[in-house]
Amino acid sequence: MSSTEGDIIFMGSIPKLYESYLVPMIFAPYAADLASRISGRPLSRVLEIAAGTGVVTRELARILPASVAIVATDLNEAMLEHAREIGTSRPVEWRQADAMNLPFPDGMFDAVICQFGAMFFPDKAKAFSEAHRVLRSGGIFVFNVWDRIEENQFADTVTTALEKLFPDDPPRFHARVPHGYYARSIIEQDLAAGGFTAPPDFTTLTARSQARTPVIPAMGYCQGTPLRNEIEERDPSLLGDATVLALNAIRERFGTTNISGKLQAHIVTVEK
């Protein structure tokens, strides 16, 4: 399995660890913000792509009127299954779907929303063209992407720490994928290539990542993301060592209890 293939695989124990460790720590602070950006619009059908374990889906179900139909999709069935098990406050349609080949007719949705998923699309312009296609005229596409890794302290600390364990070929999943798609000019080009002619709006939002102990970010980043796939490709026996190394680096930088690190992301909104 190549690094590119492993970058989009969320299976095995990853969904549970992702939800337990990463969702409260880094995804929940942005989920409410993203959902709120469509809540005041006239809506009848909303599509979420790359829904993961459903943190934004649950927020959409909570704040949108019951008359608004919500369809939540993800490429990884294991992530959707975990989202289904957690559940939502009202019915949601869960569908396994590739963002680059959505199984929906043209103009079906009033809004398309995507939290921290665009970075994973192998062909971002193609995925954006699909979002454009399934939106009605006047509909809105809202998504967010992480800023560069240096602006996201826990991820940066873990990535740097693992260079000591793998000096010849350090695993760079977090720098390469989640934190590798932040340049406004490139995002604008991809949106235009996907058919969006209106100028997108960009907002940079800084938040804090909170954890009771360094174990939480160490486990979350090393074992609850495809970074785990990269580590195990190099040497499966070193997953525990890598996690401990990350834990010690986080402890040294942020302390031993009630730790906090900077998060930073860009929110992009564009109308059809």
CATH second-level architecture of 3-271?
3-Layer(aba) Sandwich (3.40)
**Could you tell me how many residues make up the chain?**
272
- The DSSP call for residue 246 is H
The pair of three-digit structure tokens given for residue 210, joined into one six-digit string: 């909170």
pTM of the predicted model, to two decimals? 0.93
DSSP state, residue 133: H
Dist CA 195 CA 133 (whole Å)? 8
Beta strands in 28-125 (DSSP E): 45-48, 69-74, 93-96, 109-115
Give per-residue burial for 216-255: e unless 16+ CB within 10 Å, then b.
bbbbbbbbbbbbbbbbbebeeeebeebbebbbebbbebbe
pLDDT one digit per residue (tens) for the chain, 272 residues:
444 544 444 546 677 888 999 999 999 989 999 999 999 899 999 999 999 999 999 999 999 999 999 999 999 999 999 999 999 999 999 999 999 999 999 999 999 999 999 999 999 999 999 999 999 999 999 999 999 999 999 999 999 999 999 999 999 999 999 999 999 999 999 999 999 999 999 999 999 999 999 999 999 999 999 899 999 999 999 999 999 999 999 999 999 999 999 999 999 999 99
What residue spans define the domains of the chain?
A: 3-271
CA distance 147 to 180: 8
Give the up-direction half-sphere exposure of residue 102: CA atoms within 13 A in the CB hemisphere: 27
- List 74's β-bridge partners, or say none: 96
